[in-house]
Amino acid sequence: MQKNACRQRIRLWAGYLSIAGFLLAPNSVSADASVEAFYAGPGQQMRFIVRTSPGGEYDLATRILARHMGKYIPGNPSLAAVNMPGGGGISAANYVGLVAPRDGTVLSIIGQGLFADQALGLSPGLKVDLRDLSWIANFAPSNPILVVWHTSATKSLKDAMHRETVLGATGAGSVSVHFPTLYNNVLGTKFKLITGYPGGQEINLAMERGEIEGRASNTYAGYMASNPTFIPQKIVIPLIQIGLRKEVGLLDTPLLLDQPVKPEDKPIVDFMSKSAGLGRPLATTPGVPPERLAALRTALTATFKDPTFIVEAERQGLSIEVQPWQIIDGIIRDMVEVPQATKDKVKLFTTPGPNERK
């Protein structure tokens, strides 16, 4: 049943993407010829920048896309995954937006936490304006969840309000810092963050070793893809999820939107819940020639229709629910245009340190 639902989502959004690609495509005959000549050039190889270290959902999803997408790009270039961890995805985003060649040869799945980061000005290290990136599509929207290892004395959200629970996180620009800090401020939890882990696999290992009690943030789809036994076998215990609706597989896990909060805190909860719904937005650099950008969007549409890709994605437990690029663009602009008073409060409530409520 889960596989059938996955296929239905793929077909639905692939149809929307096909329409968008048709409307955006320039003269197909001349454009296809020039695009094919570019991508078929001698030694031409595309790079797929991964914001994390090897392992985990971002890495797994990138490598599956890299194996299949090239055959649908005119000229059939090869795609190589290149891991570029650092700053909760900031290093990869800055590279794609400011350093990489602007020719359609570099792709990356941008960390979802960076959108709120830019809107709020949380990390000085984030130099790229995400509105400038060339968006291809948004796929695999899945709620970020906070979990603890099964040996932790914290077993529920209520427990987390009464005892300090030590969590592993990546960098300052990541949702693994933003979300638990928000929970501390609006729900009264007592999460303590240990930051600086390169990626999720290192955090998982630290949990297993007992160095930390839990992982501050990873998506439900991410666990089901890279560690499919963790949740069903209760190796980790989800304490809270954030998004616009509960995950079907986590109906007993509290949703932030459903928690009682002060009326003045509701806009902050709404803002961050929308941010969490961004999923895994796929982008290339600014300034890519329109015909190449259209070809990349069309290639992604074709990839998600590919039976071989679908089978591999299902086998790996990847959530493949795709949204057109216009949705990403709209969400970014909506978040940037939120009233400054709300931004200031969200920033205060997602920044660790003395500003946290006690």
Q: What is the pLDDT of residue 232?
A: 96
- The average confidence (pLDDT) of the chain is 86
Tell me which of 319 and 207 has the higher pLDDT: 207
Residue 308, judged by CB atoms within 10 A of its CB (0-12, 13-18, 19+), counts as: exposed
> Could you report the per-residue pLDDT of 99-121, keeping only the tens digit for each?
999 999 999 999 877 888 888 88
**What's the whole-number mean pLDDT along residues 77-89?**
92
Both tokens of residue 264? Answer: 């003045």
pLDDT of residue 9: 45
The pLDDT of residue 31 is above 80 = no
Residue 318: which pLDDT band, with cuts at 50, 70 and 90? confident
pLDDT digits (tens, 9 = 90+) for 165-178: 999 998 766 789 98
Instruction: Give the range among 182-196, 201-215, 265-279 with minimum mean pLDDT.
Output: 265-279
Averaged pLDDT, 199-220: 94
**CA 161 remoteness from chain centre:** 27
pLDDT level of residue 277 (50, 70, 90 thresholds): confident
* Residue length of the chain: 358
| Residue 3 pLDDT exceeds 60 | no
Strands (E), the chain: 45-50, 78-83, 106-109, 134-139, 144-149, 165-168, 191-194, 214-219, 236-241, 280-284, 322-324
The domains located in the chain, with CATH, are 2-141+278-336 (3.40.190.150), 144-275+342-350 (3.40.190.10)
CA-to-CA distance for 180 and 167, rounded, in angstroms? 9
Above 70 in pLDDT, residue 162? yes
Neighbours of 260 (CB within 10 A): 7
Say how far apart CA 322 and CA 332 lie, in whole Å.
17
Winning range, highest mean pLDDT, from 6-10, 94-98, 331-335: 94-98
Nearest CA among 291, 286, 285 for reference residue 39: 291
Percent of the chain clearing pLDDT 90 (strictly above): 59
AA letter at 184: N
pLDDT digits 0-9 by tens, 35-70: 999 999 887 889 999 998 888 778 888 999 999 999
φ/ψ of 241, rounded to 5, equals -125, 155
The answer to whether 213 and 152 have CB atoms below 8 angstroms apart is yes
pLDDT of residue 132 exceeding 80, the answer is yes
- Kindly tell me if the per-residue pLDDT of 242 is higher than 50: yes
